[in-house]
Amino acid sequence: MKIKHHELDIPEDDPFKNCQLSRKPYASILTNIVSTYADGFVLAINNKWGTGKTTFVKMWQQHLKNEHFQTVYFNAWENDFDSNPLIAIMSELKSLTSSGNEAAFKSVVEKGAVLVRNVAPALLKALAKRYIDTEVVVNAIENTAKGVADIFEAEIKEYASKKKTIIEFRQELEKFVKKTDNDKPLIFIIDELDRCRPNYAVEVLEQLKHFFSVPGIIFVLSIDKAHLASAVRGFYGSEQIDTDEYLRRFIDLEYQIPRPSRVNYCKYLFGYFAFENFFSSEGRKKHSVFRQDAPSFLATAEILFNESDASLRQAEKVFGVTRLILSSFSSNQYIFPPLLFILVYLKTLKSDLYEKIEGNKLDLQQLSDAFSDLFPNNLKKSIGRNLVYSQALLLWFYNNGHDYEERIELVKVNGESGPSTPISSRLERSEEGNELANCFKYIQNDYEARSYSNASLDYLLAKINLTENLDIQ
């Protein structure tokens, strides 16, 4: 049994074979773009964290290789332990060397060595020897002005030399790219830049602009632009900086991978974490009351993630944790799958609300409203009724958890008018507005439900909080 989602296998001959998000068409679009504008530019693939950017760019990289592009993949986050990204980027370029371009790469390295050389400490050391380590310290003080002038003059010379070297570095880099024996541009993918230390992230951007902006190289930044903007503000120590304008200096084209079908992804996760192994186990199939557990569980998950702003990674986590929690149930126990999944969702992604529920901090109407707010108002009637039943279960169990004198009578039968309840639900779909009351009446009277009508919410919370033994198979 799995508890987390692992990296997908990317077959060389069909890199999108295992893609569950139908993203191959977007790779084709981007390939056409880099083929058309091959002179060199910076492309940003901008999507939020946890939306599968890394998997996509790795699949796309293999797709590019199959189309005979030279490619490099650079995970900036794994390399920000070094102070100078120029060294790490050059080291990735080295992977493209061959007998035909080795000399050209060596020339690039020689020019790059001048750029990474730290001149200031050498200057200071020379000045220290000259002015501090003398027989008469006062001579150093008298010559302070001369020392400052020397530093200034040396910095002017160093600036002029460095400017010339940058030009030469770019010229040699362009020659190297042309000698890769390929008429297609080099695609250099930089991933996880938005997770780096602010100074490292900014250094990468600055060096791409000043050192690597040459014909024949297309840089692809796989980023969450909002988080990269935070890194920029952190580097400059100001919340007032216009990060959109700043990043526009470096990014020529921005692309956003369209939002995938959450419904299809939930179906995939349901299979990946082997929920059917539990729901269709021999022990559970003996009980007819459990037959709808799997479809009701999946339908609820699809609604939750289709309407929320949760990322794919967050969906994976909720599914993985829920599958682990199911191991604490025996084959003859009620699970109330939709309610269980909703509570795991809340604990994982809306912990403040979960803690209020766990600590009995809400009254029943507040709890009903909070539950309703998780779902859209335009649900189909059949789906809405199922959610109202889960809402009724939540309120019923929550009410049972209070001291007897604090409990509310959730349902009353008023003669011919049918059942009524003092609690309202925004998920009501019937014109009469009595779905919630009918669900309460069902929980109270139904023969199959009698075994749990007196249960409290602690029954599920104990499972979710993993305070009971698991039967992991």
Distance in angstroms (rounded) separating the CA atoms of residues 220 and 26? 14
DSSP string, 389-411: HHHHHHHHHHHHTS-GGG-----
Distance in angstroms (rounded) separating the CA atoms of residues 293 and 279? 7
- The predicted pLDDT at position 100 comes to 85
Distance in angstroms (rounded) separating the CA atoms of residues 284 and 43? 52
- The predicted pLDDT at position 123 comes to 38
What torsion, rounded to 10 degrees, do the Cα atoms 163, 167, 168, 172 define?
150
Sign of CA dihedral 51, 53, 59, 63: positive
**Total length of the chain:** 473
16-21: long-range pairs with CB below 8 Å, 24+: 16/59, 16/63, 19/55, 19/59, 20/264, 20/265, 20/268, 21/52, 21/56, 21/260, 21/261, 21/264, 21/265, 21/312
- H/E element, 86: helix 85-93
- The predicted pLDDT at position 432 comes to 62
Is residue 80 exposed (0-12), middle (13-18) or buried (19+ Cβ within 10 Å)? buried
Query: What is residue 221's DSSP assignment?
Result: E
Q: What is the mean pLDDT of each run of 10 residues along the chain (473 residues)?
A: 81 95 96 89 94 96 96 93 85 89 89 64 41 46 54 62 83 88 87 94 92 92 96 92 94 94 93 94 91 94 88 94 94 94 97 96 96 82 80 95 86 82 87 83 76 86 84 56
Query: Who contacts 175 (Cβ-Cβ below 8 Å, separation ≥6)?
Result: 104, 107
Q: Which amino acid is at 3?
A: I
Distance in angstroms (rounded) separating the CA atoms of residues 192 and 81? 14
Neighbours of 90 (CB within 10 A): 19
Query: Who contacts 199 (Cβ-Cβ below 8 Å, separation ≥6)?
Result: 235
Distance in angstroms (rounded) separating the CA atoms of residues 195 and 179? 33
